[in-house]
């Protein structure tokens, strides 16, 4: 059971939604459902992840506030993306993304496995700035080529918490509430409903159970974990904040200890943010494909960058350069042919661009 003192209601944080960019995409809803695992530890870990996300989008020095972070009430049926999709798309929740996890108890500590699930609700938004579309003039008229984002399901590198690290996560009474941000005395515990007043890197001023005080937030990792950076990058990208997305995915890529799939997709997202921001993502797409030459998703982006290249030369009336780009597209199509279904319409349309 969840400890009584932990919040039990879904908290919709009325975070202000002002983006510094001019993008019209609506704010996103990020669900942090109950974690699976031994309690109270798993729920304390969940609360820590929740506060990490709150800080990522609401800290006083953070300019972007493009997400509402939801504290999920219902327990997950199992630790699976499918179970999370069911919980996140429930009518009263309607989350676009979910950051969730499981705490595995070992004799020498705890392993926290964090995951990110993007829900199908993202595709129902009126404005979808993340879609990549390139139009080309062809003999058959103007043709439009589109690519959606590369993935919806992500697993992060497990966080290892040794015995010493988990001491603070095992208090069955819940997280303590202090009278001051630093120092002071304990005046209570985290209650069921929270109202946020100030959010800082090291603590959050809240009102809960009729008391106003500070919760001292603890990170699960030494620095911002790749789960938080990646999720932040996703929200930024999905809202059309290209510069913010570039920063977040670059930060993820600086971490040498991330899963290969996450690295490949971070490169793709970084390249996509570059393309959408008016630059080229070709270098990132090539690097992603270079990490795994059977990766069809990376191949998609590599090929699309060739189409974008042709479109650029076409707009500039550089015929010779355009022909060379077509040859490069032909070579990449040949190299990636086995990754696509023979009837893949997107691939066939690209192949038709090659004279």
Partner 1 sequence: MKWICFALIGLFFSPFIGWAAPKSQVAIFQYKGASSATSKDKFEVFQGIIEDKISNLRREVFQDDEQALAYLEDIYVAYHDQDTFTRNANVKRWMENQASVLCLLRGTIVSDDNLTYMVKSNFHLGELKEYFPHDVVKIDLPIKISEHANTQDSHSLVILYALAMDAKRLGSDSHQVARFLTSALNKLADIKRRSGELQGDLAKLEQAIVQASNELMGGGNGS
Chain residues in the site for partner 1 (CB under 8 A): 78-82, 102, 104-111, 113, 115, 120, 151-153, 155, 157-158, 160-162, 256-257, 259-261, 264, 291-297, 335, 338-342
CB-neighbour burial class of residue 286 (10 A; exposed 0-12, middle 13-18, buried 19+): middle
Q: DSSP assignment of 98-141, as one string?
A: EEEEEEEEETTEEEEEEEEEE-GGGGG-S--TT-EEEEEEETTE
Q: Which is nearer to partner 1, 317 or 345 (CB)?
A: 345
Helix (H, G, I), strand (E, B) or coil at 280: coil
Token pair listed for 200: 């800082």
Q: Which is nearer to partner 1, 59 or 330 (CB)?
A: 330
Q: Which is nearer to partner 1, 103 or 175 (CB)?
A: 103
Q: Which helix (H) or strand (E) holds 291?
A: helix 282-291
- Which is nearest to 89 in space by CA: 110, 120, 124, 44? 120
Q: DSSP assignment of 319-353, as one string?
A: HHHHHHHHHHHHHHHHHHGGGS-TT-HHHHHHHTT
Token pair listed for 276: 């959408």
Q: Which is nearer to partner 1, 120 or 279 (CB)?
A: 120
Give the CB-side neighbour count of residue 279, counting CA atoms within 13 A: 14
CB of 41 to partner 1, least distance (A): 13
Q: Which is nearer to partner 1, 211 or 293 (CB)?
A: 293
Q: Which is nearer to partner 1, 339 or 354 (CB)?
A: 339
Token pair listed for 346: 């997107």
CB of 145 to partner 1, least distance (A): 19
CB of 174 to partner 1, least distance (A): 25
CB of 300 to partner 1, least distance (A): 12
CB of 77 to partner 1, least distance (A): 10
Q: Which is nearer to partner 1, 232 or 265 (CB)?
A: 265
Q: Which is nearer to partner 1, 94 or 212 (CB)?
A: 94
β-strand partners of 132: 147
Q: Which is nearer to partner 1, 51 or 340 (CB)?
A: 340
CB of 294 to partner 1, least distance (A): 4
Start-to-end Cα distance in the chain: 65
β-strand partners of 189: 176
Token pair listed for 261: 């799939």
CB of 74 to partner 1, least distance (A): 18
Catalogue the E-assigned strands of the chain: 28-32, 36-37, 67-71, 97-106, 109-118, 132-138, 141-147, 153-155, 159-162, 176-178, 186-189, 194-199, 204-208, 211-215
CB of 113 to partner 1, least distance (A): 8
Helix orientation angle between 319-336 and 296-315, rounded to the nearest 10 degrees: 170
CB of 232 to partner 1, least distance (A): 21
Q: DSSP assignment of 69-92, as one string?
A: EEE--SPPSSSSHHHHHHHHTSTT
């Amino acid at each position: 059971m969840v400890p009584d003192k932990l919040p039990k209601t879904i908290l919709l944080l009325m975070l202000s939604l002002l983006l510094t960019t001019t993008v019209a995409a609506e704010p996103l809803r990020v669900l942090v459902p109950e974690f699976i695992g031994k309690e109270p530890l798993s729920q304390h870990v969940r609360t820590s992840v929740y506060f990490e996300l709150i800080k990522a989008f609401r800290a006083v020095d953070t300019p972007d506030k493009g997400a509402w972070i939801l504290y999920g009430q219902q327990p997950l049926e199992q630790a699976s993306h499918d179970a999370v999709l069911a919980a996140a798309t429930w009518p009263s929740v309607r989350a676009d993304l979910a950051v969730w996890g499981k705490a595995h108890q070992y004799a020498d500590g705890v392993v926290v496995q964090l995951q990110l699930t993007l829900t199908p609700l993202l595709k129902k938004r009126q404005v979808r700035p993340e879609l990549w579309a390139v139009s080309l003039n062809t003999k058959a008229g103007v043709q439009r080529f589109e690519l959606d984002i590369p993935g919806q399901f992500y697993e992060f590198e497990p966080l290892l918490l040794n015995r010493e690290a988990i001491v603070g996560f095992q208090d069955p009474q819940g997280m303590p509430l202090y009278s001051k941000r630093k120092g002071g005395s304990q005046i209570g515990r985290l209650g069921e409903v929270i109202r946020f007043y100030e959010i800082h890197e090291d603590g959050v001023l809240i009102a809960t159970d009729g008391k106003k005080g500070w919760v001292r937030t603890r990170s699960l990792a030494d620095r911002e974990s790749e789960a938080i950076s990646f999720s932040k990058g996703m929200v930024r990208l999905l809202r059309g904040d290209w510069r913010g997305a570039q920063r977040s995915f670059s930060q993820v890529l600086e971490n040498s200890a991330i899963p290969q799939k996450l690295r490949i997709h971070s490169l793709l997202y970084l390249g996509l943010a570059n393309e959408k921001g008016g630059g080229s993502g070709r270098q990132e797409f090539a690097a992603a494909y270079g990490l795994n030459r059977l990766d069809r998703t990376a191949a998609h982006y590599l090929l699309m960058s060739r189409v974008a290249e042709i479109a650029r030369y076409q707009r500039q009336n550089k015929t010779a350069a355009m022909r060379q780009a077509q040859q490069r597209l032909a070579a990449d199509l040949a190299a990636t042919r086995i990754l696509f279904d023979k009837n893949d319409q997107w691939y066939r349309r690209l192949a038709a661009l090659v004279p």
